[in-house]
Amino acid sequence: MTLLDVKNLNKQYGTGTVALSNVNFSVKEGEFISIIGPSGAGKSTLLRCLNRMIEASSGEITFDGMKVLQLNKKELRNLRSKIGMIFQHYNLVNPLSVIENVLHGRLGYKSTMKGLLGIYSEEEKKGALEIIELLGLEEQIYKRCDQLSGGQKQRVGIARALIQKPKMLLCDEPIASLDPNASKIIMDYLRKVTNEMGITCLVNLHQVNVALTYSDRIIGVKQGKIVYDGLPQYVTKEI
C-alpha cells in the first residue's frame, strides 16, 4: 500500500536557491529507503518538506491519505504525530534525563512545561520504559542526556520518535556524527524498526556503502533532482 506520494515537488529558498526541482516518488508502507547524494543536493530540504518543517514552494504531497500541503494547524499536528524525525545532532533536551526526553516526545512540543515539571502518568512512564528497553538504554534511564555517548544519544532520539507510534521515520543524516561502530548499531536499530514494527524509514545518508548495505531501495538526489530511484545493486558510483 502506498504510504507517501510526492508529485512535482519544488522548493526555492528566499535566497533564490532552488533546492528541489520537480521531485516525484512514492513510498510503500514498510519500505526502508536511503536518500543519497552530495552535500547541498537537497536531501535535507526534501525530508523537511515532507512534515512541513519547511514549506515547499509548489507540488503535492499525500501521506496516509492526507493532503500534506493543505492541512490546517490541527491536522498538521496529527500528521506530525505519525511522522517521527531523527536528526544528525540528536536535538535532545540535554539537561533532562533519558526517560524525560522520551516522554517529552510523546507529549509533543506543546507540553514542554508539563515535561519540565515531571508530570507523567504511570501508564506514560510504562510506555516509555518499554521503548527504552527496546533500544537497550535501561542502564541510562536516569542519566542526563549530556552525559551519554553520541550513539546513546541517537538511540534516545529514536526512542523519542517511536513513542508517538509513528508510521514513518524521517532520519536526516542519523550517523553523520558517529564513529563506524556506533553507526552500525544505529543502522541496525533503524532496520529493526522497519523489520519488526513495520515502520517505514526514509534515511538521508552520505555514506553510500551504508546505504547500499541496509536499504531496500535507494533514491539518488543531485542538484535538487532525483537522478536514481531503484534497487541498491544497480547504483553506480557517480550518484
Q: Which positions lie near ligand ADP, rule CB under 6 A?
A: 13, 15, 17, 19, 37, 39-45, 88-89
**Residue among 45 and 101 whose Cβ is closer to ligand ADP:** 45
| Amino acid at residue number 102 | V
Closest by CA to 165, choosing from 67, 97, 64, 95, is: 64
**Residue among 77 and 89 whose Cβ is closer to ligand ADP:** 89
| Shortest CB 45 distance to ligand ADP, Å | 3
Q: Which residues pair with 33 in a beta bridge?
A: 202, 217
**Residue among 99 and 178 whose Cβ is closer to ligand ADP:** 178
| Shortest CB 14 distance to ligand ADP, Å | 7
* Cα–Cα dist 239/233, whole Å: 13
| Shortest CB 66 distance to ligand ADP, Å | 23
**Residue among 40 and 136 whose Cβ is closer to ligand ADP:** 40
| Shortest CB 187 distance to ligand ADP, Å | 18
Count how many Cα atoms sit within 13 Å of the Cα of residue 236 in the half-sphere of its side chain: 3
* Cα–Cα dist 156/135, whole Å: 8
Contact indicator for 159, 147 with CB cutoff of 8 Å:
no
Q: Which residues of 63-81 are buried (b: 16+ CB within 10 A; e: fewer)?
A: bbeeebeebeeeeeeebbe
* Cα–Cα dist 120/138, whole Å: 19
| Shortest CB 37 distance to ligand ADP, Å | 6
Grid cell digits, residue 188? 541496525
**Residue among 165 and 206 whose Cβ is closer to ligand ADP:** 206
| Shortest CB 204 distance to ligand ADP, Å | 6
- DSSP, collapsed to helix, strand or coil, labels residue 219 as strand
